[in-house]
Structure 1
Amino acid sequence: MTDDNPDKVLRSFVAEDPDSKYTFDSVQRGGDLTEICREGKKLSRKCIKLHMYSTQMFQAMQTQGFYCALPIDPTRTYMECTRIPK
C-alpha cells in the first residue's frame, strides 16, 4: 500500500502492462481502501492497495480507456476492467 498520490500510482501501475485485465474491489465495504490486481500477460499477477473509493477507481480506470463491469457470476463483487481497443 502506498500513501502517494493514488491517481499517479494507479497510472504508473497500469502503464506497466496496459493491455492486461484488471480487477478491483474495496478492502472493506464502503471504505476508501481499494485493491487492484493485474492478471498480466507480460508479468504475473500483481496487486496494490490504494486509498481510493471504488467509485473513484471506476472513474480513474474509465479515464484511462478501460471498460469496467461486474463479472457474470452474481456472487462476485469485484469489478473487471478491460482496455477498450482504439
Structure 2
Amino acid sequence: MAGVFLPYHEPGIVEILILVSFFFFLSLARWVSATAIQAGIIGQIVVGIIYGVPLANILQHNWQETFVSLGYVGLILIIFEGN
C-alpha cells in the first residue's frame, strides 16, 4: 500500500516564478489585445505559444499537460452550457 499515493513535490522558487510570470503575462496579453483589437483570447494564445513547446518551452511538461486538461474541461463545460 506504500506506493498507492502520489507523493507531494514542493516546487522550487524558479518554478513558482515561472508560473507567476505566465499568469501575469496571460492577464496582460488579454488586456492589451482586448483593448487593441477587441479579441482578448488572441493575446492569451500568443503567450501560450511563447511559454509552450512551439517556441521557448519555458513551462515544464507536466504543467503543460495540466493546462491542456483544464482546457478540455472548459470546452466540455462550454458545450454543456450551450445545450
TM-score (norm 2): 0.32
Larger relative contact order, structure 1 or 2 (CA cutoff 8 Å, min sep 6)? 1
State the structure with more CA Rg: 2
**As a proportion of its length, which structure holds more helix?**
2
TM-score (norm 1): 0.31
**As a proportion of its length, which structure holds more strand?**
1
